Structure 1
Amino acid sequence: MTDSFFLPDPDIPDPDDAFSSAPLRLTIDLGALADNWRDMARRSGKARAASVVKADAYGVGIEDAGQTLYHAGARDFFVAVPEEGVTLRPHAPEARIFVLSGVWPGTEHLFFEHDLVPVIASEEQLAFWMATVSEHGDHPCALHVDTGFNRLGLPLEEALHLAEDVSRPASFSPVLVLSHLACADDPASPMNRQQLEAFRSLSAAFEGIESSLAASAGTFLGSDYHFDLTRPGIALYGGEAVKGVANPMRPVVTAEARILQIREAKKGQVVSYGASHALSRDSRLAIVAAGYADGYLRNLSGHGVALRQTGLAGAQGFIAGHKVPIVGRITMDMTIFDVTDLPPDAIQAGDYIELFGTNMPVDDVARAAGTIGYELLTGLGLRYERRYLDAE
């Protein structure tokens, strides 16, 4: 009997080859994602920890992230729009999936067909949902109440009136009431306690119905804020949740870009658009295949953008054990790093610079642009080749 074997199909690219040759690439550590959820579940104490997977799971990929978090133990998920819930459903078959934007005419069939839970946030949505369930039959919903954020949610007074209204339809029986903290990333803010007290009155009014107030940062505020369900988001993906506190979460996403060229430039020569940066020494410059079209924000530039005129330094990359600064303006497809201080043989064209990740925390990079890690993660462009490191 002869041994049998399969020859690789030449028309199907090897994903490992695609990753190793890609101009831009992301390494996504699903094991770290699962560990971060377990960490937040532990910090949630007696409350259950949900998983927020909106915006394509903060850029990670909702299918892979959802499946990983479900296998880690998450049974409650939050998405922004019903289409995200439809995508998630096959990967979290027994989970409750809450849709934060609620339900609107033309989308109601998605909630029934895919067992999604609308989060009702206004009188208009409430009226429409009551009409919908009267026609299609009972279906769970949640109620979002504003406790001071002034963004989304039924006003607190109206929600309390609704809770006491004996004439409200029996079909309106929310499975969850929730609100959102405005300043949870600042533990010293008095706004946290003000919203907590308001939410306590809401939770008491809807006695017997589960309550949820804390997202990632709120979970770190302690057990007073946990209620029945916490809603960690950015912490799952390795981002900072609280200002001024060492981030305990494991990094999940590492973004890298290939060096297209290393060039020599003389002292006094200028770099990139606008000639905004003149070199103060003879320099070696690494031209890298990442730009603002890839979510590598223009405000990360070393020079020549409005934010830099405030005196803040631009961002850095990481290569060969060293941090290297951006010089000149970031362009649509390329960024220039000053690699003069690296040994001449330390790097070459084709090598990869880490834009953010295990050596360059995403929030440190974001601060250089005057923004937050959320924006870098959710703004990742379409040109990254992805490699997923499986959870155990």
Structure 2
Amino acid sequence: MIPRVTATIDLAAIRNNLAVIRRLAPKSRVMAAVKADAYGHGAVAVARTLEAASVDALAVACLEEAMTLRQAHIQAPIALLEGVISIEEAALAVYERLQVVVHDHWQIALLEQLPQTARLSLWFKLDSGMHRLGFPLSDVPRLAEVLRRHPGWQFEGWMTHLACADEPDNPFTATQIEAFDTALRGVPGHRSIANSAGIIGWPQARVDWVRPGLAIYGCSPMPDADARSLGLQPAMRLEARVLAVRRFAAGESIGYGRKFICTEEMPIAVASIGYADGMHRAFRDGTPVRVRNRTAVLAGRISMDMITIDVRAVPDVQVGDPVLLWGGDLPAEEVARYAGTLSYELFCGLTQRVKFRHINGAGIA
């Protein structure tokens, strides 16, 4: 069978992007985020690639994601960014040698139910201004006392999360970093602050540990620094196929709602992807795609299984031609703007109908 929609994941790009992050933060250890199925890129294949490249740790959202990696024999340290929510999860986290990120006092009470011999590994997450998860900064002395009460616990360090790091002119990031540093002055333990935007835009956030996510997959979160200028390589290439090419007269309408009207006689190609594959219905007319290495644009509403494309710029288009939706020289972060969203959502929104191929990996095809 010929796949109608294919996402090709270049694992060599993943390795390259990890190397770029190491060059940006040479004194930091790297905890790479592979949550949400590695941002839609395939968690097992990506984690194997990062582990082979000697990443220092991996990060997932929850126990289920960590178990997928352990069952695939991934042995690297794995941090649970949302921690655990039951004593059963806590016990399994200990058994599987997972690092538990603790963000609230109820979690401490839960972990204290574990046997004293349990080899618990944990981080404390502090809220420096994101106001999502994390202990208030004023709780640091109380948390230090918790660690003194439990000398058998292996403490990995203190982490926080930046709210506006992708806004280089926003002073709130510097405020967060200063508040975090002040709260921990004189307190032992490793620090972790920077996400991808923090690594790229805020050198003072490159402390003991960095936690890249989007940059690992070859996208820049910064509006003033494109991925290519940073040396990042897009890891995902999403392609559909041309199913039909027809010509329509001026005044004819295309697709649901008759929202696109041909301004002249023009060729329209139909391609084999729709919102059931993860192509957002919010994409508007004029969204760029690539056909035969030339730019064409969407014309008409996204359907469940198909899109329609103005191919006046590609006069030699044929049935069966690949249609590049994003990847390569068509960055996902640029395409995402046409739907009023971010590349994160494009990657994570792909559905089970998409055929995934992983290339350039050791033993992975």
TM-score (norm 1): 0.87
Give the secondary-structure state (helix, strand or coil) at the position aligned to 2:301: coil
Partner of 2:250: 267
Q: Does 1:115 align with 2:97?
A: yes
Residue 142 of structure 1 is aligned with which of 95, 98, 123?
123
Give 1:133 shift.
4.5
Partner of 1:370: 340
Partner of 1:65: 46
Q: Does 1:213 align with 2:185?
A: no
Contact 1:25–1:257 (8 Å) recurs in 2: yes
User: What amino acid is the match of 1:354?
Assistant: L
User: What amino acid is the match of 1:225?
Assistant: A
Residue 237 of structure 2 is aligned with which of 254, 274, 289?
254
Give 1:138 shift.
3.3
Aligned CA distance change for structure 1 residues 250 and 384 (closer, same or farther; 3 Å): same
User: What amino acid is the match of 1:109?
Assistant: A
For residues 103-143 of structure 1, the C-alpha deviation after alignment (integer angstroms, 9 at most, x for no partner) is: 11142233023211111111111211122254x62311111
Partner of 2:166: 185
Q: Does 1:335 align with 2:307?
A: yes
Partner of 1:355: 325
User: What amino acid is the match of 1:270?
Assistant: S
Aligned CA distance change for structure 1 residues 30 and 167 (closer, same or farther; 3 Å): closer
Larger CA deviation: 82-91 vs 21-30: 82-91
Contact 1:66–1:88 (8 Å) recurs in 2: yes
Give 1:246 shift.
2.4
Give 1:222 shift.
4.3
Structure 2: how far apart are the matches of 1:48 and 1:177? Answer: 14
Give 1:151 shift.
0.8
Structure 1: how far apart are the matches of 2:14 and 2:146? Answer: 43
Superposed CA RMSD = 1.8
Residue 129 of structure 1 is aligned with which of 108, 111, 122?
111
Tell me how many residue pairs correspond in the alignment. Answer: 358
Structure 2: how far apart are the matches of 1:119 and 1:98? Answer: 7
Q: Does 1:282 align with 2:265?
A: yes
Residue 300 of structure 1 is aligned with which of 264, 274, 283?
283
For residues 353-372 of structure 1, the C-alpha deviation after alignment (integer angstroms, 9 at most, x for no partner) is: 00000021100100111111
Q: Does 1:387 align with 2:357?
A: yes
User: What amino acid is the match of 1:236?
Assistant: I
Aligned CA distance change for structure 1 residues 100 and 389 (closer, same or farther; 3 Å): same
Aligned CA distance change for structure 1 residues 124 and 164 (closer, same or farther; 3 Å): closer
Partner of 1:9: none
Structure 1: how far apart are the matches of 2:97 and 2:154? Answer: 16
Give the secondary-structure state (helix, strand or coil) at the position aligned to 1:49: strand
Partner of 1:15: none
Q: Does 1:321 align with 2:321?
A: no
Give 1:93 shift.
4.3
Structure 1: how far apart are the matches of 2:75 and 2:186? Answer: 29
Structure 2: how far apart are the matches of 1:219 and 1:341? Answer: 39
Give the secondary-structure state (helix, strand or coil) at the position aligned to 2:139: helix
Give 1:168 shift.
4.0
Structure 2: how far apart are the matches of 1:330 and 1:279? Answer: 17
Instruction: Give ranges in structure 1 of 5+ residues lacking alignment.
Output: 1-17, 303-313
User: What amino acid is the match of 2:107?
Assistant: Q
Give 1:91 shift.
5.4
Larger CA deviation: 112-121 vs 22-31: 112-121
For residues 57-113 of structure 1, the C-alpha deviation after alignment (integer angstroms, 9 at most, x for no partner) is: 011101100000111110211001111111122556442100011111142233023
Aligned CA distance change for structure 1 residues 111 and 234 (closer, same or farther; 3 Å): same
Give 1:172 shift.
4.9
Q: Percent identity?
A: 33
For residues 185-217 of structure 1, the C-alpha deviation after alignment (integer angstroms, 9 at most, x for no partner) is: 11221111111111112443531x111000111
Structure 2: how far apart are the matches of 1:131 and 1:332? Answer: 50
Contact 1:75–1:94 (8 Å) recurs in 2: no
Aligned CA distance change for structure 1 residues 90 and 205 (closer, same or farther; 3 Å): farther
TM-score (norm 2): 0.93
Structure 2: how far apart are the matches of 1:51 and 1:167? Answer: 29
Contact 2:137–2:183 (8 Å) recurs in 1: yes
For residues 362-391 of structure 1, the C-alpha deviation after alignment (integer angstroms, 9 at most, x for no partner) is: 001001111111110111111111222214
Structure 2: how far apart are the matches of 1:24 and 1:95? Answer: 32
User: What amino acid is the match of 1:193?
Assistant: A
Aligned CA distance change for structure 1 residues 166 and 65 (closer, same or farther; 3 Å): closer
User: What amino acid is the match of 1:229?
Assistant: W
Structure 1: how far apart are the matches of 2:115 and 2:179? Answer: 30
Instruction: Give ranges in structure 2 of 5+ residues lacking alignment.
Output: none
Q: Does 1:34 align with 2:6?
A: no
Give the secondary-structure state (helix, strand or coil) at the position aligned to 1:332: coil
Give the secondary-structure state (helix, strand or coil) at the position aligned to 1:161: helix
User: What amino acid is the match of 2:254?
Assistant: V
